[in-house]
Chain A
Amino acid sequence: MPRSIVTSSSPSRRGFLAAVGAATFSVALSACSGGSGSGGSGGSSAKPLSQADIDKAMKTPTELTFWTWVPNIDKEVALFQQKYPAIKVKVVNAGQGVAHYTKLRTAIKAGKGAPDLAQVEYQAIPTFTITDSLLDLSPYGAADLKSKFVDWTWAQVSGSGGEIWAIPQDTGPLGMLYRQDIFDKHGIKPPTTWDEFAAAARKLHKADPGVYLTNLAANEAAAWHGLLWQAGAHPYALSGKSDITIDVNDAVSKKLGTYWGGLAKEGVISTDPDFTDGWYAGLNKGKYATWITAAWGPAFLSGSAKATAGKWRAAPLPQWDASSPVSGNWGGSTSAVIRSTKNPVAAAQFAQFLNSDPASAKMFATEQSFFPATKALLADPSFAGATPTFYGGQKVNQVFADISATVSDDFQWPPFLDQAATDWTETVGKSLADKTDSGAALDAWQQRLTTYAKGQGFTVKSA
């Protein structure tokens, strides 16, 4: 397994976390102060381009700048340049997640220095469309790609008016990785429902107080959103430009809160912050018997918990209703074209080629260990049939490919995601860690988000 797994997978979720930026405040503030300029104009006319126009643009010498944190993406870029020698793509690593977005927002605001294209995670797309910073790719041939991509990924990049804001690159449908050896030792079968899961959690912790069935990280708002997604919640809905519905404490959320808050209070699951030294040690030393994670998790884990090779297996998420299995998504990202680009045609073609060309899409799976967003690759035996020894030869990709087909396509993200994530950690996450009332914490989260959204000029509703 390539070393890049560790670095490539973590950013898929990192955009969701608070920045690990170490810049002192004064420096950061002066660096971020932009003008009050608008997000550029043009390109909004939805008239499809003719193939002749596209061909002409692709033969005109052009240089594109592409901000991305994906390691070794030069290899995929080379495939593009082989096909279109006139277009030069300059790859710039402007940081990961929040650091990347902060620089991008600053450049967009300043009106110059913004790239032609950028890596944008699904959940971050609305934070850029609210400021009109992304180019609608539908007139540039992107609409024809719809059938190539998994339905829910296409829904994630589509706007309410039929716009296509980005092209999906990789995904993270949620599943469960579990320790076969620990399960066997205590006679536990992989739980298929959340009720079974709770019973297993109690049984396991009672049998061995040093082991928890799972760790629900108190700082991982992204995982919580994935679980919300699975439970069928619709926490956010933007209608029009300035009306937002916020429902993070509705009945579905309360059900989730009671469930996880209850297990945390009983002390049968742990709530350690993830992607920290202690958490890595916990995975390696058998403190957690499962990891509820995304499809990028298997590759990530095999790089970070080498001591446990061969002991893990993959299974779908436990279900609320076993008769109709569903899942949510955590992480993954897209390529988006920034609206201020001077080369919209070439940039749009690049975004499309990078993620939909079979050779390029496959390379993301083999080189970067990305979990695919295209239907063809998910069905490709060379991908789905892989039998990694870390998982005892199980066809792990197949498990997650099946899960991907069960992810619902109606989950929306708020246009102020970082705030939602931070507020989650300080209310719901804190209540899980401190074993306090999760219902009150959900209400506090709702309250905070409502106040924030109103302060930002939204008209806030709740169902």
Chain B
Amino acid sequence: MTAMTAASTEDPRRAGPQRRRLGGLRHGAAGPLFIAPFMVLFVLLFLTPLGYAAYLSLFQERLIGGTTFVGLDNYMTALKDPLLREGLLRVAEFFAIQVPVMLLLALLFALALDSGLLRLAKVIRLGIFVPYAVPSVVATLMWGYLYGPDFGPFAQLGRKLDVPVPHFLSDTWMLGSLANVVTWEFVGYNMIILYAALRTIPGELYEAAAVDGAGAWRIAWSVKLPALRPALLLTLLFSVIGSFQLFNEPKLLQTIAPDVIDSSYTANLYAYTLAFTGQQVNYAAAVSFLLGLVIVVFSYAVLITANRRRTS
């Protein structure tokens, strides 16, 4: 969207000299030309698959009997599907546990780095950011090994020191263990967004605050935090989407904890299983659309809540 508007607002100025050179080309015709490369890719790679999935979701294909048009039946089934509901509730719970912790940590790190009081700030910044550069598959495999109940380092250390270590891959701990992996992966990413936002605050504000007698904490609370609001909102939105689409981490931990993570543990995992284990591509498409809808509604709710706070 931004690319489109940017291109179309800029084109009158640029089209001027070009029109003279090309002679007959009418004013404004260059606009569509400029956005054409984007639009072609957008339609081919984004709208077409989406439209096709929507089309698929209206059918039902069975091993016996072939494909039939069923209208919105798949959606009606999905709305009543307890497995989908459980998966959604679980990711909602995950969101409630993981996102506040992650964003708070990211905020603390960003403020600490921005304070200029840390030694080796660059090394620390890179250190916190590096996990984001590790592919999530690798990160999950690594954590899966660390969590191991028999031969994992935590368990072994615990046995050596005679300290009870929780069974990280058990039913009670799994959501927390997943939250830990995701937090480890994404704290650095969110920190960089917040840190970048902090760097854009004009120095005059700090000077003015200092003149008014504000200390470091006061500046952080009354100057930096309000200025971070848009960036925080952005990270929050990313987190909503990320949480509800949770897939890689549970999918990989499933192999080492099959009795805890079932195939409908998260909504996305459920859709995947439907399509590739059960061959129910049509129903999977309907489930995916409902999941998308939930994410849109949830994101919108977050936006509205945030904006209302700002205006009040």
Q: Which residues of A contact B (CB under 8 A)?
A: 17-22, 24-26, 28-30, 32-33, 36, 98, 102, 105, 130-131, 218-219, 241-242, 271-273, 275-278, 281-282, 285, 287, 415-416, 418-419, 422, 425-426, 429-430, 432-434, 452, 455-458
What 19 new A-B contacts, CB under 8 Å, besides A24-B248, A429-B259?
A19-B277, A22-B251, A22-B252, A24-B247, A28-B276, A29-B281, A29-B288, A30-B49, A33-B49, A241-B64, A242-B64, A273-B257, A276-B255, A418-B279, A425-B262, A426-B262, A430-B259, A433-B258, A455-B62
Q: Which residue of B lies closest to A415 (CB)?
A: B63
Q: Which residues of A contact B64 (CB under 8 A)?
A: 241-242, 456-458
Q: Which residues of B contact A (CB under 8 A)?
A: 49, 52-53, 56, 59, 61-67, 137, 144-145, 148-152, 245, 247-248, 251-252, 254-259, 262-263, 268, 271-273, 275-281, 284-285, 288
Pairs of residues from A and B, 3 with the lowest C-beta to C-beta distance, nearest first? A457-B64, A433-B259, A219-B258
- In the complex where A281-B151, A422-B263 touch, is A273 in contact with B276 (Cβ < 8 A)? no
Q: Are B255 and A273 in contact (CB under 8 A)?
A: yes
- In the complex where A32-B276, A422-B273 touch, is A22 in contact with B256 (Cβ < 8 A)? no
Query: 19 A-B contacts, Cβ less than 8 Å apart?
Result: A25-B275, A26-B49, A29-B53, A29-B271, A30-B49, A32-B275, A102-B276, A218-B259, A272-B150, A273-B255, A273-B256, A275-B255, A418-B279, A422-B277, A426-B263, A432-B259, A457-B65, A458-B63, A458-B64
- In the complex where A98-B276, A102-B276, A419-B277 touch, is A18 in contact with B263 (Cβ < 8 A)? yes
Q: Which residues of B contact A19 (CB under 8 A)?
A: 276-277
Q: Are A36 and B67 in contact (CB under 8 A)?
A: yes
Q: Are A25 and B285 in contact (CB under 8 A)?
A: no
Q: Are A218 and B65 in contact (CB under 8 A)?
A: no
A98 to B148, CA, bound (A): 26
Q: Which residues of A contact B258 (CB under 8 A)?
A: 218-219, 273, 425, 429-430, 433
Q: Which residues of A contact B278 (CB under 8 A)?
A: 416, 418-419, 422, 452
What is the distance, in angstroms, from A367's C-beta to the closest C-beta of chain B?
29
What is the distance, in angstroms, from A163's C-beta to the closest C-beta of chain B?
18
Q: Which residue of B lies closest to A432 (CB)?
A: B259
What is the distance, in angstroms, from A307's C-beta to the closest C-beta of chain B?
13
Q: Are A278 and B56 in contact (CB under 8 A)?
A: no
Q: Which residue of A lies closest to B149 (CB)?
A: A278
Q: Which residue of A lies closest to B248 (CB)?
A: A22
- In the complex where A130-B63, A456-B63 touch, is A281 in contact with B150 (Cβ < 8 A)? yes
Q: Which residues of A contact B279 (CB under 8 A)?
A: 105, 416, 418-419, 456
- In the complex where A278-B151, A416-B279 touch, is A131 in contact with B63 (Cβ < 8 A)? yes
A273 to B279, CA, bound (A): 25
Q: Which residues of A contact B144 (CB under 8 A)?
A: 277
- In the complex where A25-B247, A33-B56, A415-B63 touch, is A285 in contact with B281 (Cβ < 8 A)? no
Q: Are A36 and B277 in contact (CB under 8 A)?
A: no
Q: Which residue of A lies closest to B271 (CB)?
A: A25
Q: Are B53 and A33 in contact (CB under 8 A)?
A: yes
Q: Are B137 and A22 in contact (CB under 8 A)?
A: yes
What is the distance, in angstroms, from A14's C-beta to the closest C-beta of chain B?
11
A433 to B49, CA, bound (A): 40
A429 to B59, CA, bound (A): 33
What is the distance, in angstroms, from B254's C-beta to the closest C-beta of chain A?
7
What is the distance, in angstroms, from B137's C-beta to the closest C-beta of chain A?
5
Q: Are A36 and B66 in contact (CB under 8 A)?
A: yes
Q: Which residue of A lies closest to B292 (CB)?
A: A26
A275 to B59, CA, bound (A): 38
- In the complex where A25-B268, A426-B262 touch, is A278 in contact with B150 (Cβ < 8 A)? yes
A333 to B235, CA, bound (A): 49
A22 to B272, CA, bound (A): 11
A398 to B123, CA, bound (A): 61
A17 to B258, CA, bound (A): 11
Q: Which residues of B contact A287 (CB under 8 A)?
A: 150
Q: Are B63 and A277 in contact (CB under 8 A)?
A: no
What is the distance, in angstroms, from B40's C-beta to the closest C-beta of chain A?
17
Q: Are A18 and B277 in contact (CB under 8 A)?
A: yes
A131 to B254, CA, bound (A): 30
Max chain A C-beta neighbours (<10 A), residue from B61, B256, B273, B280: B256
Q: Are B277 and A457 in contact (CB under 8 A)?
A: no
What is the distance, in angstroms, from A242's C-beta to the closest C-beta of chain B?
4
- In the complex where A25-B247, A33-B53 touch, is A434 in contact with B276 (Cβ < 8 A)? no
Q: Which residues of B contact A25 (CB under 8 A)?
A: 245, 247, 268, 271-272, 275, 288
Max chain B C-beta neighbours (<10 A), residue from A285, A419, A429, A434: A419
